[in-house]
Amino acid sequence: MMKIKKIIGVLSYRPRREFQAAKEQPPSTHGYDFHHSRGEFDGLSSPSTEVIIMRNVSIVGIGQTPVNEHWDKSLRELATRAVVGAMKDAGAGPDDVDALYVGNMASGAFTGQEHLGALVADYAGLQGVEAVKVEAACGAGGAAFRQGYLAVAGGMKDVVVVVGVEKMTEKLNGDATSILATAADADYEVDHGLSFVALNALLMRRYMHEYDLTHIDFAPFAINAHRNAVHNENAMFPFEVDESRVKTARMIADPITLLDSSPIADGAAAVVLCSADTARTFTQHPVRVLASSLATDTVAIHNRRDPLFLDGAAKSVAKAYDQAGVGPNDINFFELHDAFSIMAALSLEASGFFDRGQAVREAQNCEISRQGRIPIQTLGGLKARGHPVGATGMYQIVEASMQLRGEAGGAQLPNARLGMTQNIGGSGATVVTHILEAER
Amino acid sequence: MSMDLPRHWRLKQARYRLEGSHCEDCGHTFFPSRLICPECRSENVVAHQFGGRGRVYSYSTVYNPPAGYDEYVPYTVALVQLDEGPLVTAQLTDVDPEDVEIDMPVEMVTRRLRQYGEDGLIVYGYKFRPAWEAA
């Protein structure tokens, strides 16, 4: 199944391998018009409309480290372990890999190390490969995955590795809080003493006010995430919590308590992506990327059209549903960005699963559990698996792939065919949505 | 963490006067200031000083502050909806956290936001305190 997209202009240069791949396409649909090219973007001066093929993309290998406080492991070691794990899972060697994308939020501030593209390529045994870091706050992992997807879908790369990595525990708590706050507006939020938790607390307080809820009404989000994490050997908190623990949890930024919050952690998760038509040369259980989309909203909450509705998420999922040709009722499970329980509620509403103001009530009715209408955080989510910020988007992709491959163990859903992931940068400013399908 | 001296100097109109922008084309008024109107994308934008009165849209009390704000803990932060419409993120002052309510009328005052160490820069800016309702 080819998705044909009209664009103005074609790139004039393509590496030899992609040139050959393009020539192998049926002449009736291939759009690479090399004779046409003169400048770098020939089409910019040409009135003609070209047709370019978007290739289908599959995940053929997954790898991850446990999420934890890895005092004994460096950023480069975590990333290497995830990359090597994904490449071994795919049976891919270093020579197969055309590019590496590293999702990371703040390695410079957390560890004093930037330039992760080259660093991780070197240490992961991919010396010389094209490699670059992708940053979008806590949405970096999902954004990096999307860059890998675009590279393969557009025909520029055949096999890419994407890794999300974050090493947060080098810093003490107050420093980590300051670094996380760089996802917010430095001049107009953070300088006024707002931590990232405080910004989410403002949303949660207003949500409680609008919809007549109390703090304990949000307990099902933490309870569900922890219950599912019990079956995830890579989760940071694989234990259950009950309502009494939620009630007595330590206050962080009123009304957000410790059990509304995801933990600071270290970790890395990776995948190998390739064009769908070559996927089975790597694996017998590829996972198809049916849709990939990224949308943005204002960084500062005070500039949103409506702070209680994630416009960025609504735009992101609308594009994803459209690309995949599905709707919320077709999705079997949803790995969303529960950095705080309020974010889980807002994400479910903006993504079309529940009406506005209903997500907390639906969670109380067990509609987010494994047996519910839309199971979320099936392997623990950010809350209980842990939230190594720039790696989180890749953990979501890896966990969704485990569900679709039937490898989720005790957390396995019986009919996992279509899964959706949503990785959020900031308090809703970058929203990356992916829809994945098990290839039979 | 450095003192970011030029940045704090650059923000003085917003910090001390609550200055945002007004779009001459669509009439939209917004804070903070921008070069391009977020409503109609016009570049015909001029400075606009807000009156400094509004109501609490939402609030929270911070117990785990970012580095540099430890000495003020616990402190109350809020989204304030200005009478002219826009929301502003700021601290509340001259009020106990338990007395804060959504829709409470507030007014802008200038207060110390933070200090960079014993000999460092002292950053001043807007905070909001409870206000009597306008008749």
Closest CA to A116 of A157, A69, A159, A165: A165
Residues of B in contact with A188 (CB under 8 A): 14, 32, 88-89
Active-site amino acid positions of A: 138, 387
CA B116 to chain CA centroid, Å, is 20
CA-to-CA distance for A385 and A401, rounded, in angstroms? 16
Q: Which residues is A14 bridged to in the sheet?
A: none
pLDDT at residue B134, as a whole number = 55
> A4 and chain B: CB distance < 8 Å anywhere?
no
- Given B63, B77, B97, which is nearest A192 (Cβ)? B77
Listed in order, strand segments (DSSP E) in A372-417 are none
Residue B62 Cα, gap to closest chain A Cα (Å): 5
Q: Which residues is B55 bridged to in the sheet?
A: B81, B105
User: Cβ B77–A187 below 8 Å, yes or no?
Assistant: no
Residue B6 scores a pLDDT above 90? yes
Q: Per-residue pLDDT for chain A (440 aa), expressed as one digit of tens each?
A: 444 444 433 333 333 344 344 434 443 333 333 333 333 334 444 445 556 669 999 999 999 999 999 999 999 999 999 999 999 999 999 999 999 999 999 999 999 999 999 999 999 999 999 999 999 999 999 999 999 999 999 999 999 999 999 999 999 878 999 999 999 999 999 999 999 999 999 999 999 999 999 999 999 999 999 999 999 999 999 999 999 999 999 999 999 999 999 999 999 999 999 999 999 999 999 999 999 999 999 999 999 999 999 999 999 999 999 999 999 999 999 999 999 999 999 999 999 999 999 999 999 999 999 999 999 999 999 999 999 999 999 999 999 999 999 999 999 999 899 999 999 999 999 999 999 999 97
Residues of B in contact with A173 (CB under 8 A): 64
- Given B57, B65, B67, which is nearest A206 (Cβ)? B57
CA-to-CA distance for A150 and A77, rounded, in angstroms? 27
Mutation site, B64, B84, B87, interface A, largest A CB count within 10 A: B64
CATH code, B51-135: 2.40.50.840
State residue A51 phi and psi, 5-degree precision: -115, 130
- Given A178, A191, A302, which is nearest B113 (Cβ)? A191
Residue B51: partners with Cβ closer than 8 Å, 6 or more residues away: B82, B83, B84
pLDDT at residue A49, as a whole number = 55
Window 207-246 of A, Cβ < 8 Å to B: 209
User: Cβ A193–B65 below 8 Å, yes or no?
Assistant: yes
> A92 and chain B: CB distance < 8 Å anywhere?
no
Residue B13 scores a pLDDT above 90? yes
- Given B66, B77, B123, which is nearest A174 (Cβ)? B66
Residues of B in contact with A303 (CB under 8 A): 30, 38, 87
Which carries the bigger pLDDT value, residue A50 or residue B6?
Answer: B6
pLDDT at residue A50, as a whole number = 58
CA-to-CA distance for B81 and A307, rounded, in angstroms? 12
User: Cβ A203–B58 below 8 Å, yes or no?
Assistant: yes
Q: Is the ipTM reported for this complex over the cut 0.90?
A: yes
pLDDT in tens, B17-53: 999 999 999 999 999 999 999 999 999 999 999 999 9
Residues of chain A with CATH 3.40.47.10: 57-170+263-438
Contact A121, A98 (CB under 8 A): no
> A108 and chain B: CB distance < 8 Å anywhere?
no
Mutation site, A175, A302, A306, A427, interface B, largest B CB count within 10 A: A302
> B105 and chain A: CB distance < 8 Å anywhere?
no
Nearest Cα residue in chain A from B111: A192
CA-to-CA distance for A395 and A379, rounded, in angstroms? 10
Average pLDDT of chain B?
A: 94
- Given A174, A198, A303, which is nearest B77 (Cβ)? A198
Written as one letter, the residue type at A71 is W
Closest CA to A266 of A100, A413, A30, A64: A64
Which carries the bigger pLDDT value, residue B122 or residue A36?
Answer: B122
CA-to-CA distance for A395 and A188, rounded, in angstroms? 31
pLDDT at residue A8, as a whole number = 35
Average of pLDDT values for B6-15? 95
Percent of chain B clearing pLDDT 90 (strictly above)? 83
CA A271 to chain CA centroid, Å, is 12
Nearest Cα residue in chain A from B59: A202
pLDDT at residue B119, as a whole number = 85
CATH topology of domain A57-170+263-438: Peroxisomal Thiolase; Chain A, domain 1 (3.40.47)
Domain positions in chain B: 19-49, 51-135
> A253 and chain B: CB distance < 8 Å anywhere?
yes
Residue A5: other Cβ atoms inside 10 A: 12
The token duo for B18 is 């609550």
Residue A102 Cα, gap to closest chain B Cα (Å): 26
